[in-house]
Structure 1
Amino acid sequence: MKKAEIKLIVELDEKNVPEHITWESSDSESSEALAAKAMFLALWDPHYKNSMRIDLWTKDMPLDEMKRFFYETLQTLGDTFLRAAGDDKMAEAVIGDLRDYCEHFAEKMEVTQQSQ
């Protein structure tokens, strides 16, 4: 069985506020840790049937980038759910609603939608 490791490093200031976030993967072709300004980590707890989350961002993360980060995360959550649900027609319909909301979010937050 193949194993892969993802390593997250969070450097905190004296008030435990993230100053730097880096990450690396054992599957990566790069041997260097990559910088990040924010992260959302969600894990499913099968025992309690709920999600466990860690949401962090560095103190120098600009608000405009945070808005973009939320927008892109919402978009990709829809993509992930569609892959997980397969041919479920209800999932496809609900993801259409999520896409509509993402457009609304982008407009209200003044996030420029870029092609992905």
Structure 2
Amino acid sequence: MKKSEIKFTVSLDDGNLPKSIEWDATDKETEGQESTRSISLNIWDNLNQSTLRIDLWTGDMSVAEMKRFYIDILGGMGQNILNSTGDEYYSEEIKALCDRLVKHVNEENEKK
């Protein structure tokens, strides 16, 4: 059986806030650790029938980037639910939410 590993390294500042985040994976196209400004990891806890979440971001990630990051996450969830369950309604509802959020973010950016 093939195994794959994904590794995150988080450096913290004196207040225990993420200063830098690096990641690596055995199946990644390029070799070596890469820097990122944010990670969002969701794990299904089968025992408690709930989702465990780890959301980390560095201080240099802008609010605009954070909003874009979460819109992309939601969009990916919509596609994943379609691919895994075939539930078009569920997928389209998530896509519609993403479309509304993109419009909101674009309107915010125009005001600045």
The aligned residue for residue 42 of structure 1 is: 42
Alignment of structure 1 residues 1-20 onto 2, 5 Å: 1-20=1-20
Q: Which runs of 5+ in 2 are unaligned?
A: 108-112
* TM-score between both structures, scaled by the size of structure 2: 0.89
Q: Distance in 2 between matches of 1:103 and 1:56?
A: 25
Q: Structure 2: which amino acid aligns with 1:55?
A: D
Q: AA paired with 1:104? A: R
Partners of 1:60 and 1:30 in 2: CA distance: 24
Q: Cα RMSD (Å) of the superposition?
A: 1.3
Q: Percent identity?
A: 34
Matched with 2:106 is: 110
Structure 1 residue runs of 5 or longer lacking an equivalent are: 112-116
1:94 and 1:80 map into 2 onto residues whose CA distance is 11
The aligned counterpart of 1:99 is 95
Contact 2:45–2:52, Cα closer than 8 Å, also in 1 = yes
- The offset of 1:28, in angstroms, is 2.1
